[in-house]
Structure 1
């Protein structure tokens, strides 16, 4: 391997700062996590976007959340086709091995992946239409959400698509037999959230209202 390089100095300094403070102050907790394994209280599927920091939003400690991040916080439908499915594998492990009691999908404002899907479906992103585009083929998962969008301005429809992404993922989760079984038996609950990065607000999907409501 000849392409790997040493870490940038600022990351090395941050590591040593963490080791001398946060780790040193909580050494016994980290050692307990290492020796006893993980028992997360929830799985969280969120976007790769660097501005979305789920552990900060909920004040979560190490070991509390089993986290999976991908472009636009999407979950594909159940497809046991022998191919490699990172998101599906994470869901399977969380539900069948870790037996998490809660599975949370959280979308967010100003999502670049959702914007790419919207532009692609509108015919304004030919590069994403290429079969060689990993992002484009991943964002195909959100097309059912685009097809459900109400009339409105582009800004309104784009904001609605961010929340549709959460709903599409929740719908696809229920196509996994082990997820559906756990939900039906009361061992697992699914939750859909959306957060406004700039405003700091958090909304939760309420099936009785048929929409998202502020917490």
Structure 2
């Protein structure tokens, strides 16, 4: 692979700093993780957005979360068939292999993927409608949420609500996976929906009793 290049210098420096401090101070823990394997209690599905740092939000150490990141924190519906399904494969492994007790979907404010879905569905981003657009076809998962919100006129309000709809769509789609729904119904697995405001750091949790997102 002749196109590959060495790491940029600033990343090498950061790695060496981590190795000399965090790793050296916790060598026993890292060796334990390597020898004993991973036993996370929760899977966290979050956005690829560089502004959302899920481990720092919860003060998590290595080994605590099984983390999967994708555009807009979306979970597709269960569609067996042998194609490449990275998110579905991660969920299957977390639930059936690692036997996590919780699956958490976390969306956030000012999500570029959700904004792209809004632009595509409102006719402002025809390039995302092209069959060759990976982002557009991924954001098709959120189209039902867009349709549910159509009466809302204010764009800022629409976008914030659509970000939360992305979380709800993902929770609904999680239940289409038999290995998820069976464990939820047995009480072995719980699903959680979160939305984080990256401006003020607040975190909201979906509460079905309130039929909405409430502060954690």
Q: Does TM, scored on the shorter chain, surpass 0.5?
A: yes
Structure 1 equivalent of residue 158 of structure 2: 157
Q: Please report how far the alpha carbon of residue 159 of structure 1 lies from its aligned counterpart in structure 2 after TM superposition.
A: 0.7
Q: 2-side partners of 1:173 and 1:90: how far apart?
A: 12
Q: Please report how far the alpha carbon of residue 82 of structure 1 lies from its aligned counterpart in structure 2 after TM superposition.
A: 1.2
Using structure 2 for the length normalisation, give the TM-score. Answer: 0.99
Provide Cα deviations, 1:109-156, integer angstroms capped at 9, x if missing partner. 000000000010100000100000000000000001001114230111
1:104 equivalenced with 2:90 (yes/no):
no
Q: Equivalent residue of 2:128, what SS?
A: helix
Q: Please report how far the alpha carbon of residue 174 of structure 1 lies from its aligned counterpart in structure 2 after TM superposition.
A: 0.1
Q: 2-side partners of 1:4 and 1:75: how far apart?
A: 31
Show structure 1 runs of 4+ deviating over 4 A. Answer: none
Structure 2 equivalent of residue 34 of structure 1: 34
Structure 1 equivalent of residue 178 of structure 2: 177
Q: Please report how far the alpha carbon of residue 208 of structure 1 lies from its aligned counterpart in structure 2 after TM superposition.
A: 0.4
Provide Cα deviations, 1:15-50, integer angstroms capped at 9, x if missing partner. 110000000000000000000000001000000000
Q: Please report how far the alpha carbon of residue 198 of structure 1 lies from its aligned counterpart in structure 2 after TM superposition.
A: 1.3
Q: Give the count of matched residue pairs.
A: 215
Q: 2-side partners of 1:51 and 1:98: how far apart?
A: 28
Structure 1 equivalent of residue 128 of structure 2: 128
Q: Equivalent residue of 1:56, what SS?
A: helix
Q: 2-side partners of 1:186 and 1:155: how far apart?
A: 38
Q: 1-side partners of 2:10 and 2:157: how far apart?
A: 40
Q: What is the 5 A alignment of 1:188-203?
A: 188-203=189-204
| Structure 2 unaligned regions, length at least 5 | none
Q: Equivalent residue of 2:191, what SS?
A: strand
Q: Equivalent residue of 2:156, what SS?
A: helix
Structure 1 equivalent of residue 74 of structure 2: 74
Q: Equivalent residue of 1:183, what SS?
A: helix
Q: 2-side partners of 1:147 and 1:174: how far apart?
A: 21
Q: Equivalent residue of 2:84, what SS?
A: coil
Structure 1 equivalent of residue 64 of structure 2: 64
Provide Cα deviations, 1:150-169, integer angstroms capped at 9, x if missing partner. 42301111110000000000
Q: Equivalent residue of 2:146, what SS?
A: helix
Provide Cα deviations, 1:50-109, integer angstroms capped at 9, x if missing partner. 000000000001000000000000000000011110000000000000000000000000
1:205 equivalenced with 2:210 (yes/no):
no
